[in-house]
Amino acid sequence: MKKQKFKIKPGHALPLGVTRVQDDVQFAIYLPDRKRCFLKLYRLGEPEPEYRIPLTDEYRVGSVYFVLLHLESQLSSNESAASLSQILTDEYEYLYEADGEDLVDPYAAAVTGRNVWGRRNSGVSTRGRICLRDFDWDTDHPLHIPFSEMILYQLHVRGYTRHATSRVKHPGTFEGLRQKIPYLQDLGINGVLLLPAYEFQEIQPSYQPGGEVEADLQTLNYWGYGASETYYFAPKVSYSSDVEQADQELKSLIKALHLAGIEVLLDFYFLPGTNPALMIDCLRSWVLNYHVDGFRVNTEVMPSLSLASDPILSGVKMLASYWDAQALSDAGVHHEENALAEYNDGFMNDARRFLKSDEGQTESFFRRFYYKPQGADVINYMTHVNGFTMMDLVSYDIKHNESNGEHNRDGTEFNYSWNCGVEGKSRKQAVVSQRMRQIRNAFLMLLFSQGTPMILAGDEFGNTQEGNNNPYCHDDALTWLNWRESKQKTQIHDYVKRLIAFRRENPVLHQGRQMHLMDTISCGVPDLSAHGLETWRPDFSNYSRMLGILISGRYVTDEKGEPADSIYIIFNMFWETKSFDLPMLPDGNEWHVYLETYDETFSELPPHKPKKKTKKRRKQMGIQRKTVVPPRSVVVYVSR
């Protein structure tokens, strides 16, 4: 193969990594405290470099080396037709050498040697790839879906379609996920949160209790959190159906999701000690080059102030465990609305404990139901990747992580779960019915709360991990979603789909503002209020498991500009039937049952009609003032 002729000269500008500068290509890297450094260019797969370029002081600014490659014209007509960026992308890979040590560029847009999932490619070096292909984004642009309008869906790219029952052409890949977009649309999803999809090393060394490395033992890091040898700028090549086009395939997926009205958020876990500038540059790169809509970031490593104050990142969604609104204000940080959201286990823990009828949880759940932090939104979830699935939450009292090989010592002990009478799988009809009822209750708690609901992929059709609440090392049927249909799966799926649609149709369920719990517009009723067995008398005692929540429609308008329907939700988490009062309604409206979770009864609501207040109607309202709610169930009323 003919050796290319490159002219080499000093570069002159950020960013780091490999970028086009007009017709040239620049290589830039931060190498502090190094004395003898080189840029090495290899033909793809070749053991020795074709070029070993000394990085002398003429290429250096501070601790950053900038090298500009220019394609000389003394080439054949066929060769000269190709641009330098195309030649480098198609034919070369690269490394840096610093004081005798080979280094992969931490800003590499792709790497070699990771083509096959779960396997270290012996004899194949990990090197940086050059990705300077153009991509036709056409009219793609950020969707800016408000948090209040979003239904978020957390998924693992590989596990989502890896199982044969997914029936996609390229299982376990970005392309496989793209084929599931119609399913997501039909369910009502408009935001996906992808677990780490950047280039992490899934094969990790095992450690002895004292911290020594087990030489011959390796552990699979299926999720990708905390993995060493991570390259945060590069899409994971083994998640691609075409290992030579991983960047293009991921861009095609994001473009297709956007066309379907679905935002894309990425989950990033930065290892402690990661350079702060690299973290900012990384997220900027994903926004600018991949049109990503947002991120979940571990702010114990990446300061939240840096995230919120960056000019490029200020308009994208940022999920973090906590936002200090006062600290941001004191620092003069301006961030756009619909940008920051709190992501932690607060709602999950309180809602689970209320669901399983623990003592003293009524008030905690009520506050989580309407909670919105100052200056930010909140992500609510009942389950997420680290813990039980929804089906396991109602099927197991304790974790069952024996298959992880750690003697069931790993994974959280605080699951706040209830097995409904039998540990694990059961064919007892009473147990199965109670579990289905608890699943219905849990999804209603989640999807009717005021925060942004997030569903763990597979929960909407009863996916199980057989009681394993920490399957981080499993790449098998335990973590792959089984799409095989069954009557039970269809029942759960259709129920969740219907609740999502109802949430969207009723603006009182997703107001996107802080609730005041008082009458702020002098209409005679608060925007949101708590009730007990008697209206206007909530019971927050230690022994209470009953709660009524009235969300007034007077504070929200519907599509026609009219006051929205009010909604009254009665939670009876007690194990006996209870009688509840119903609040009186103004203007001749009546309460109509929409849903009873005890036996999954949906009722058709009457159309909106102007109604006159008459004696007969007042009599009807009087009859309607009490209702009976079965044990461990929820009833939803709508005013019409």
Angle CA 566–572–573, to nearest 5? 135
Model confidence at 209: pLDDT above 60? no
How far is it, in rounded angstroms, from Cα 475 to Cα 222?
6
Backbone angles phi, psi at 378, to 5 degrees: -140, 140
Mean pLDDT of the chain: 93
Would you place residue 618 in the very low, low, confident or very high pLDDT band (cuts 50, 70, 90)?
A: very low
Q: Which two structure tokens, joined as six digits, stand for 165?
A: 């029952």
Q: In this predicted structure, what is the pLDDT of residue 125?
A: 85
Q: Residue ranges of the alpha helices (H) in 291-358?
A: 304-309, 325-330, 346-355
Q: How many CA atoms lie within 13 A of 567 on its CB side?
A: 22
**Please, which residues have CB within 8 angstroms of residue 270's CB and are 6 or more apart in sequence?**
232, 279, 297, 298, 301, 302
pLDDT-wise least confident of 75-89, 134-148, 185-199, 615-629 = 615-629
Name the 3-class secondary structure at 142: coil
In this structure, the number of other CB atoms found within 10 A of the CB of residue 343 comes to: 26
**Where in 171-236 does DSSP place strands (E)?**
191-194, 198-199, 203-207, 213-220, 231-235
Q: Burial of 229 by CB count in 10 Å (0-12 exposed, 13-18 middle, 19+ buried)?
A: middle
Would you place residue 12 in the very low, low, confident or very high pLDDT band (cuts 50, 70, 90)?
A: confident
Q: Which two structure tokens, joined as six digits, stand for 84?
A: 């330098």
How far is it, in rounded angstroms, from Cα 2 to Cα 82?
14
How far is it, in rounded angstroms, from Cα 13 to Cα 432?
64
Average pLDDT over residues 171-190: 98
User: DSSP assignment, residue 92?
Assistant: E
**Please, which residues have CB within 8 angstroms of residue 129's CB and are 6 or more apart in sequence?**
89, 93, 108, 109, 110, 111, 112, 234
How far apart, in Å, are the Cα atoms of 542 and each of 468, 577, 638?
A: 31, 19, 29
**Please, which residues have CB within 8 angstroms of residue 229's CB and are 6 or more apart in sequence?**
126, 200, 201
Angle CA 253–255–258, to nearest 5? 110
Q: Are 525 and 554 in contact (CB under 8 A)?
A: yes
* Total count of residues recorded for the chain: 640
Model confidence at 332: pLDDT above 90? no
Strands 231-235 and 198-199 turn out to be antiparallel
Query: Whole-structure pTM over 0.85, yes or no?
Result: yes
Reference 133, options 242, 54, 227, 228; nearest CA is: 242
How far apart, in Å, are the Cα atoms of 249 and each of 110, 112, 260, 388?
A: 13, 16, 17, 31
How far apart, in Å, are the Cα atoms of 301 and each of 148, 297, 320, 345, 447?
A: 28, 9, 11, 19, 31
Average pLDDT over residues 202-215: 66
How far apart, in Å, are the Cα atoms of 421 and each of 460, 461, 557?
A: 23, 22, 45
Reference 142, options 252, 235, 263, 282; nearest CA is: 263
Name the 3-class secondary structure at 193: strand
Average pLDDT over residues 436-446: 98
Name the 3-class secondary structure at 173: coil
Q: In this predicted structure, what is the pLDDT of residue 60?
A: 95
How far is it, in rounded angstroms, from Cα 108 to Cα 231?
7
Q: Which domains does the chain have, with CATH numbers?
A: 6-129 (2.60.40.10), 147-343 (3.20.20.80), 528-639 (2.60.40.1180)
Q: Which residue has the higher pLDDT, 221 or 80?
A: 221
Q: 20 pairs with which residues across the strands?
A: 25
Q: 568 pairs with which residues across the strands?
A: 550, 637
pLDDT, tens digit, 9 for 90 and up, residues 624-640:
589 999 999 999 999 99
Q: Are 432 and 486 in contact (CB under 8 A)?
A: no
Model confidence at 11: pLDDT above 60? yes
How far apart, in Å, are the Cα atoms of 196 and each of 48, 184, 219, 521?
A: 32, 20, 17, 46
Would you place residue 29 in the very low, low, confident or very high pLDDT band (cuts 50, 70, 90)?
A: very high
Average pLDDT over residues 130-139: 96
Tell me the one-letter amino acid at 467.
G
Q: 222 pairs with which residues across the strands?
A: none
Q: Are 264 and 316 in contact (CB under 8 A)?
A: no
Tell me the one-letter amino acid at 293.
D
How far is it, in rounded angstroms, from Cα 150 to Cα 146?
6
Q: Which two structure tokens, joined as six digits, stand for 504?
A: 């969207």
pLDDT, tens digit, 9 for 90 and up, residues 228-287:
899 999 999 999 999 999 999 999 999 999 999 999 999 999 999 999 999 999 999 999
How far is it, in rounded angstroms, from Cα 260 to Cα 172?
21
Q: Are 462 and 488 in contact (CB under 8 A)?
A: yes
pLDDT-wise least confident of 305-319, 571-585, 598-612 = 598-612
Q: Which two structure tokens, joined as six digits, stand for 437?
A: 């009822």
- Residue keyed to tokens 């890979």: 93
